[in-house]
Chain A
Amino acid sequence: MAGYFKKMYHSISTVLTGLGITIKYGINPKTEVTQQYPEVKREPPEGFRGKLFVDINICTGCTACARICPVDAITLKTVRDENKKLRPVLFDIDNARCIYCGLCVEACPVDNCLYFEKKYEFSAYSKEDLISHFGLGEVKPAESKTEDKKTEAGKEGKEAAQ
Chain B
Amino acid sequence: MTELINRILSGMSPTMPLTRLLITILIMVVSAAIVLAVSLLYEGFATYAERKVAGDIQARIGPNRVGPYGLLQFVADGVKLLLKEDIIPFYADRWLFIIAPYIVFTVSFAAFVPLSYSDHVSIANLNVGVLYMIAISSVVSMAILMGAWGSNNKWSLFGGMRAVAQIVSYEIPIVLSLLAAIIIPASLSMRDIIAYQSGGLGIFRWLVFNNPFTLIAFFVYFIAAIAEVNRTPFDIPEAESEIVAGYHTEYTGMRFAFFFMAEYGDMFVVSAIAATLFLGGWQIPFIGGIPMPVWLREVLQVGVFFTKVFLLIYVMMWIRWTLPRLRVDQLMELCWKYLTPIALFNLIGASVWVLLLHDRGVYDIIARVFTR
Contacts and interface: CB of A to CB of B under 8 A. Distances in A.
Given A15-B323, A27-B56, A32-B60, 8 more contacts: A19-B318, A22-B57, A23-B318, A26-B57, A32-B55, A32-B56, A33-B60, A34-B59
A33 B59 CA distance: 6
B336 interface: no
A157 interface: no
Contact of B323 (A4, A18, A32): A18
A8 interface: yes
A29 interface: yes
A25 interface: yes
B280 to A, nearest CB: 24
A18 B322 contact: yes
B330 to A, nearest CB: 10
B318 A22 contact: yes
Contacts of B321: 22, 26
A123 interface: no
A68 to B, nearest CB: 43
Contacts of A26: 53, 56-57, 318, 321
A83 interface: no
Interface residues of A, number: 17
Contacts of A4: 337
A34 B61 contact: yes
Given A8-B338, A15-B323, A26-B53, A32 B318 contact: no
A15 B59 CA distance: 20
B127 interface: no
B76 interface: no
B56 A29 contact: yes
12 contacts: A22-B57, A22-B321, A22-B322, A25-B59, A26-B56, A26-B57, A31-B59, A32-B56, A32-B59, A32-B60, A33-B59, A33-B60
Nearest to A12: B219
B286 to A, nearest CB: 23
Nearest to A23: B318
The 3 closest A-B pairs by CB, nearest first: A22-B322, A26-B57, A34-B61
Given A8-B338, A26-B53, A19 B60 contact: no
B319 interface: yes
B58 interface: yes
Nearest to A19: B322
A54 B314 CA distance: 57
A25 B56 contact: yes
A4 to B, nearest CB: 8
Interface in B50-104: 53, 55-61
Contacts of A21: 322
Interface string A6-30: 0010000001001101110111010
A18 B319 CA distance: 9
A76 to B, nearest CB: 44
A18 B232 CA distance: 14
Nearest to B322: A22
Nearest to A7: B338
B55 to A, nearest CB: 8
Nearest to A31: B59
Interface in A15-67: 15, 18-19, 21-23, 25-27, 29, 31-34, 36
Interface in B104-156: none
A148 to B, nearest CB: 60
**Residue from the set A18, A22, A25, A27 with the largest chain B CB neighbour count within 10 Å:** A22
A27 B61 CA distance: 12
Contacts of B319: 19
Nearest to B330: A11
A107 B8 CA distance: 92
Interface in A85-120: none
Contacts of B57: 22-23, 25-26
Contacts of B323: 15, 18
A25 B323 CA distance: 15
B58 A25 contact: yes
Contacts of B53: 26
Contacts of B322: 15, 18-19, 21-22
B61 A32 contact: yes
Nearest to A27: B56
Nearest to A15: B323
